[in-house]
Every structure is written in structure tokens, then in C-alpha cells.
Structure 1
Amino acid sequence: MATVAELQKMRADLLAARAGGVRRFRDQNGEEVEYRSDSEMARALAALDAEIAAQTARPASTIHFNMSKGI
């Protein structure tokens, strides 16, 4: 699993490639990915955004109990 910093770097690189109109992209590992369309790049960005949000989400820190005697 990639760290948040790695995911943010991947997102920034992919966004720069998309803005530049580049469809073929080489990541920091040297792997090359070719996207078929802009919508495919948008889906990859959305997936990265979701993964970043999932890793940075804070769990609930307070639990409230509502109790009664049932009368």
C-alpha cells in the first residue's frame, strides 16, 4: 500500500500529464502507462483522490449513548 505522500505525488504527476495533453506516462518506478482517453485519466485521478481520502479520514473519536429506563 502506498503512503499518502506517494499517492499525492502520483496524483500531481498524473494531473500534470493530463493538463499537458500527454497520454503516455512514466511513473517514478519506471513503469509506463498509456491512457486511451481523457476520461480514463479522470477515472484514475478520482481513484487516487478516493484512496487519499480513505487514508486521511479520521475515525469517530466520540461516541454518544442515549439511554433510558424504558418507562
Structure 2
Amino acid sequence: MSFTQKHLEAIERAIARGEKTVRYSDRTVEYRTVDELLRAREEIRSSLISAAGPRSRVVRLSHGGKGI
């Protein structure tokens, strides 16, 4: 299944409210335990991170003072 940011937000709302039922647009999923809900959140996070692909970092250094 392809996850979206909305899936992650729905899971996090359920965790914050102490609920084990998560509603996605046309589906409702009831998790048996909070631990199962937390594992689902991590799976969604991992999926979103891997779908984003590698990220490059650009570090720019500048010197605004007088030269030595």
C-alpha cells in the first residue's frame, strides 16, 4: 500500500487521543493494541521516508568579518 502524509496524520491523531480506531477517507481500521498502532505509525514513516528518496544536503559557510 502506498502511504501518504494524511495516513500518518490520522495515525498520530488516534495516538494523541488514545484511540485504537483510525479512519482514512473511505476505510476504518481498528488496531488491537496501542503497540500495534505505534508499529503501524513507524511503518508509515519508513515508507514515506523511503519514497522521498535520498536527500542532498548543502552546507554553505560564509565569513562576514575582516580577513586575518
Cα distance between partner residues in 2 of 1:59 and 1:13: 25
Cα distance between partner residues in 2 of 1:25 and 1:48: 13
TM-score normalised over the length of structure 1: 0.67
Say whether residues 1:39 and 2:35 are aligned partners. yes
Q: How many residues align?
A: 56
Contact 2:10-2:23 at 8 Å conserved across structures: no
* Letter matched to residue 15 of structure 1: E
Cα distance between partner residues in 1 of 2:8 and 2:55: 24
Using the aligned pairs only, state the percent identity: 25
Note the aligned Cα RMSD (angstroms). Answer: 2.0
Counterpart position of 1:23: 20
* Letter matched to residue 12 of structure 1: E
Cα distance between partner residues in 2 of 1:42 and 1:25: 12
Cα deviation, residue 31, structure 1: 1.2
TM-score normalised over the length of structure 2: 0.70
| Structure 1 gap ranges (5+) | 61-71
Equivalences for 1:1-71 in 2 at 5 Å?
2=2, 7-28=4-25, 30-58=26-54
- Go from structure 1 to structure 2 and tell me whether the alpha carbon gap of 1:59 and 1:38 turns closer, same or farther (over 3 Å shift): same
Counterpart position of 1:64: none
| Structure 2 gap ranges (5+) | 57-68
